[in-house]
Amino acid sequence: MSNHDDLKELLEMLKIHNIDVNQLRNKMSMLTEFPLFPNGIFQFYCNNVQALSGFNRMKRLNDANTWISKANNLFKFIKFSIDLSVDNLDKCENVFTPYRVTAEYKIVFYYIENAIFRLFTAWDVLGQMYNHFYDLGIKINRLYYTKIFDKTDCSFMDNKLNSVIGYSEPINFVKNEYIRIKEYLNETYKYEHGMTKGHHQYLKKLRDVSMHRDDPHSFTILNSSDRGLSLVDAPQYELMNIVEDALILYQYITNLIKLYYFEFRSYGFDIGEIQITKFE
């Protein structure tokens, strides 16, 4: 067997034979900031009797901007962490060795862990936005995104969607998206034939392990537990899962912002046109 064949076999074993990290970085760079709603002087059509309602609606718009701004900051530093991970990969050995994580690779994993932490925080922001948009009444400090997306039906969405949209076809689309989010978050991780499914569950396990005794980025007998002694996944593979999960989350946040546009326009707010880059 030639050296080329040996290398190809090793890359396939590491699950990175079809991953281009620069392409991953380029995908993230295509994501623009989520647009904030204008919060200067608003034009809304109501009389003095409705003034209090108008101020409440303006507060609601500002609350929405708060969550959108937080999502922007999180995605900004997720991108930053991915960029630094890729930059530092260039300083590492040509091929990653899962049973010998060098000091150079530990720096890469540092930025990967940073990106994972911020990514899960961004998922919580999506949960907070659902809580806010649909008036679920869950206290901010008691909310966890998985609890938002574990409902057996979409009836909690009816009142809001009927008042804001009112048409069955787009309402059904929004409800189906909720189901898609729930299914995606619970999709079992699986890697076969060079394809990965269950990106989110993969990252969730990685995060959960790192929060307890084990270090997912260290191969040592001191890091063994009832799970056994696990090999460290290549940073390129972890980066791929991070980027795929981030792109999916970005689209879900984008679609919820579109619903806010429907709502604020129904109040008579002059908020202009929505400008969001749709990522395919």
217-224 long-range contacts, Cβ below 8 Å, gap at least 24? 217/101, 217/106, 217/109, 217/112, 217/113, 218/101, 219/98, 219/99, 219/100, 219/101
Helix (H, G, I), strand (E, B) or coil at 2: coil
Q: What is the pLDDT of residue 41?
A: 42
Q: What is the pLDDT of residue 212?
A: 58
The larger pLDDT score, comparing residue 193 to residue 123, is at 123
Tell me the whole-structure pTM to 2 decimals.
0.89
Question: Which of 92-101, 116-125, 160-169 has the least mean pLDDT?
Answer: 92-101
| Bridge partners, residue 48, by sequence | none
Judged against a pLDDT cut of 50, whether residue 222 lies above it is answered with no
